[in-house]
Amino acid sequence: MYRATNRLFILLLLLITAACSDPASAPENVNESLVGAGVETALQEPVAGAMASQEISGPVIVYSSRQEHLIKPLFDRFTEETGIEVQYQTGEDGPLIARLQAEGKQTFADVLYTVDAGNLWSAAEKGLLAPIRSVVLEKNIPSHLRDPQNRWFGLSVRARTIAYSTERVDPASLSTYEALADEQWRGRLCLRTSRKVYNMSLVATMIERLGKEATQEIVEGWVDNLATRVFSSDALLIEAIAAGQCDVGLVNTYYLGQLQSENPDIPVALFWANQQSSGVHVNISGAGVTQYAKNPLAAQRLLEWLSTEEPQTMFSALNLEYPANPAIEPVDLVASWGEFRQDSLNVEIAGRLQAEAVMLMDRADYR
């Protein structure tokens, strides 16, 4: 009887350990299509027994959905300035959040660093991020780009606006996201798939401002105006505009910047939407200190440092995004697109209304 009980205990222990270390064993309420995605690691074994204390000791461990070439230069510079080592693991948002949830108090992670406010909102609502009080972050990051409870903070801004053909479209004919549902754009509009979180976030913001009924009517108009199939990426969409497959589309600005870096003469430009009303829809990349961080003071120091001038400029240079800190100017290519007024709604709406946005787009047959 004792041996049987002992074997059962060992089996249960192995199962629990596997669940905490394998993103594929994440809880059922995590999107299964994301959990199955691969995870690349640059994470070394942290210092054994390192515990949260009032002193900064040991490395900061970051779980990040940002690609390594976009974060490693920042982390290396932070280490040079502070002497605090940063170790990191990269992967898709879903698996990383699932892993963090499965690991619970045993997690190695001190920081979750991801893209889209919807992902950060989801992690915070699962109890995975801790509220922090930071005078530095509250000063450097505008209130609409951070969690109202200070569980996460935007670190770079992604503007999603209208891209148009400079050969076939007079920019004077453009105005708002809503107007892309008008008859004049029939057969001329390109869209990225609704399954991409960037479009979910835009529609969520529209629901907040316009209501469900009006937003569904607009999205149905977009679908009626499609020139071709939806695209899997903004880059392909911009290339379709340049090739004459469509005349206008909705994109994150940095995708155009990446193509302009390769071909400055690409016949596509940006129009700043809704400047006379709500402002341009913006989203973020951002981060928060994890609920069970072993090194929370160093984690907070990393976030504070990332909100200051040098790393904010590096964000703009590395991926052609906008600094979240409004006191910092973007790099020249980004600045060349001109100034615009941002939507002032808190980006947490992207998470809070994401499920409603997905259902609305499904009803509008926007796939």
Domain with CATH 3.40.190.10 in the chain: 30-157+282-330, 158-281+352-363
What's the mean pLDDT in 215-231? 97
Residue 279 has pLDDT above 90, yes or no: yes
- Give me the phi and psi of 329, to 5 degrees please: -80, 145
Quote the pLDDT of residue 55.
58
Quick one: pLDDT at residue 57? 66
Question: Does residue 153 surpass a pLDDT of 90?
Answer: yes
Q: Which two tokens stand for residue 269?
A: 């430009």
Phi (first) and psi of residue 196, to 5 degrees: -85, 135
Average pLDDT over residues 114-137: 97
Amino acid at 12: L
- Section 132-143 average pLDDT: 98
Q: Is 265 exposed, middle or buried (0-12, 13-18, 19+ CB in 10 A)?
A: exposed
58: pLDDT confidence band, cut at 50, 70 and 90?
confident
Q: What CATH number labels 30-157+282-330?
A: 3.40.190.10
pLDDT at 13 over 50: no
C-alpha span between 240 and 80 (Å, rounded): 43
Average pLDDT of the chain, as a whole number: 88
Q: Which residues pair with 190 in a beta bridge?
A: 249
Residue 1 has pLDDT above 50, yes or no: no
Q: Which of 292, 41, 305 is nearest to 153 (CA)?
A: 305
Superfamily of domain 158-281+352-363: Periplasmic binding protein-like II (3.40.190.10)
Which helix (H) or strand (E) segment is 269 a member of?
Answer: strand 268-271
Tell me the pLDDT tens digit for each residue of 166-183: 999 999 999 999 999 999
CA–CA dist 332, 247 (Å, integer):
26
Q: Copy the structure tokens of residue 290.
A: 């994890």
**Under a CB-based contact definition with an 8 Å cutoff, are residues 248 and 185 in contact?**
yes
